[in-house]
Amino acid sequence: MVTSRQHRLNAQRFINGSKGQGREKFTRYKELFSNRRLCFKRIFVPLINSRFFKAKEVYKKGGIMIYWKEVINFAKNGNPTPDKRVEKTEIAWLKMLSPEAFRITRKKGTERSFTGELCKVYEPGEYACICCDTKLFDSSVKYDSGTGWPSFSQPIQENAIKYELDSTLGMTRVEVMCNTCDAHLGHVFKYGPKPSGLRYCINSVSLKYIDNDKKN
Ligand SMILES: [Zn+2]
């Protein structure tokens, strides 16, 4: 049985302990903030490189941030108007695309996970539609979701992507397509990284990587 004296002692020990820890923590932070270089290296650099700020940059570029609410709204009530339209016959698409790209983009196929060439690409650049070259995603919002398909948290601009409800496979998902040529790209899911909370799960073969440094 624990006596009241022991209780008091334990409580005292706990208070002293936490005081000690608090003081220690305070000293550590004081040191960190007093050393400007260390402060910059440990706090500001990771903050600037964080996905939140990178996504914000894309937000500034495209002028808008898309959340799940907007995705559902587009899928149910109509998509934004694209800058231009590209329409071709099935024969024309068949001639210009590889058999795999045709199967996925024009016939709504899905590539096997972890097989896409762009799964492991994280270099700066942009990703365009394999069919019509319209820019769809920026590399700054590409991330490794562990699913085996290239994943992005935002489109490059609001009207680049077309959304449609897809009820195949016995569940309702949101299909994403190129808004310019209707190429099937993949699906978008919620529970992605902040701030948008979205995961655009895209077939690698639907995309073309553009290295901006090479182009210039
Ligand atoms: Zn396209």
The residue with greater pLDDT, 186 or 27, is 186
Q: Decide if 54 is inside a domain.
A: no
> In the predicted model, is pLDDT for residue 209 greater than 80?
yes
* Residue 36, domain extent: 4-48
**Number of structural domains the chain divides into:** 2
The residue with greater pLDDT, 168 or 176, is 176
| Whole-structure pTM value | 0.72
Of 62-66, 85-89, 102-106, 180-184, minimum mean pLDDT range? 62-66
Residues 115 and 207 occupy one common structural domain: yes
* CATH at residue 111: 2.170.150.20
Q: Which among 132, 187, 129, 137 is positioned nearest to 158, based on CA atoms?
A: 137
Q: Decide if 57 is inside a domain.
A: no
Residues 138 and 33 occupy one common structural domain: no
> In the predicted model, is pLDDT for residue 171 greater than 60?
yes
Separation of alpha carbons 170 and 142, rounded Å: 29
Q: What is the pLDDT of residue 71?
A: 96
Q: What spacing in Å lies between the alpha carbon of 89 and ligand 1's midpoint?
A: 14
Helix (H, G, I), strand (E, B) or coil at 144: coil
Residues 104 and 41 occupy one common structural domain: no
Q: What spacing in Å lies between the alpha carbon of 131 and ligand 1's midpoint?
A: 5
Catalytic annotation present for 201: yes
Q: What is the pLDDT of residue 12?
A: 64
Compute how many other C-beta atoms are within 10 angstroms of the C-beta atom of residue 152: 30
Q: What is the pLDDT of residue 44?
A: 66
Q: Decide if 53 is inside a domain.
A: no
Q: What percentage of the chain carries pLDDT values higher than 90?
A: 61
Q: What spacing in Å lies between the alpha carbon of 179 and ligand 1's midpoint?
A: 7
Residues 206 and 153 occupy one common structural domain: yes
Q: What is the pLDDT of residue 21?
A: 65
Length of the chain: 216
Q: What is the pLDDT of residue 85?
A: 97
Residues 28 and 90 occupy one common structural domain: no
Kindly state the tokens that stand for 202. Answer: 């895209």
Q: What is the pLDDT of residue 55?
A: 57
